[in-house]
Amino acid sequence: MTVKYKINELFQTIQGEGAFTGQPSIFIRLQGCPVGCSWCDTKHTWEIDPSLVISSTDLLNKKQESEHWSQLSADDMVKLFKLQNYSARHIVITGGEPCMVDLTPLCDTFESLGYSCQIETSGTFEIKTSKNCWVTVSPKVNMKGGYAILNSAMQRANEIKHPVATEQHVDDLKALLSEHNITDKPIYLQPISQKQRATELAIQTCIENNWRLSIQVHKYIGIE
């Protein structure tokens, strides 16, 4: 049975966050997320409304953010990559919350064709993916949706990328790392909304803890 995924966006750009900053990438943004982050910049991906299904052609022709989504298989997406002449060989699967569904068939298909895969997740759902997929957990603590961060997600993470604006966010991260006994993974702090105070806090905290800074390069240079 062919697995179909609910896709809000599909586009080629430069990865602007975390360990793969600067990497040409194909972004696949899935529809659906119940986590409820107050600062989320993709709230148009939260709800799954069956009346808003569109064709793959309309998906590629989107000119602005919307709640419209298309239902595509991995093979459908590969055909679109070729149709669009995408040259990137790294795929970023994000959302929404991509780990609401089993991503193993999707990543297996892409990897069999020579692509590398990366998932960006809140860590609130079990991560089902291929062994070689790079997993970025951006833990969302005490969000409106009430979901807990799963230990299985923290252990599977290849990197942990935490949004920060206040000292409380730093304290939350330290508590989370201690709770799940995380001592050997790359830790990135990402200032929320590029605000100066948040950026200064992130820089100082990274220096103090020997963590890394992720500044959402794509937003500073004005690309998607």
Query: Known binding site: residues?
Result: 14-16, 29, 33, 37, 39-42, 94, 96, 138-140
What tokens appear for 217 in the block?
């390069």
In the annotated binding site for Mg(2+), the residues are 42
- The CA distance from 54 to 107, in Å, is 23
In the annotated binding site for S-adenosyl-L-methionine, the residues are 39-41, 96, 138-140
Phi, psi of 223 (to 5 degrees): -120, 165
Pairing state of beta strands 5-14 and 24-30? Answer: antiparallel
Is residue 63 helix, strand or coil? coil
CA–centroid distance for 103 within its chain:
13
In the annotated binding site for substrate, the residues are 14-16, 29, 94
Describe the strand order of the beta sheet including 5-14 as a list of residue ranges.
70-72, 5-14, 24-30, 90-94, 116-121, 134-137, 159-164, 187-191, 212-213
H/E element, 25: strand 24-30
In the annotated binding site for [4Fe-4S] cluster, the residues are 33, 37, 40
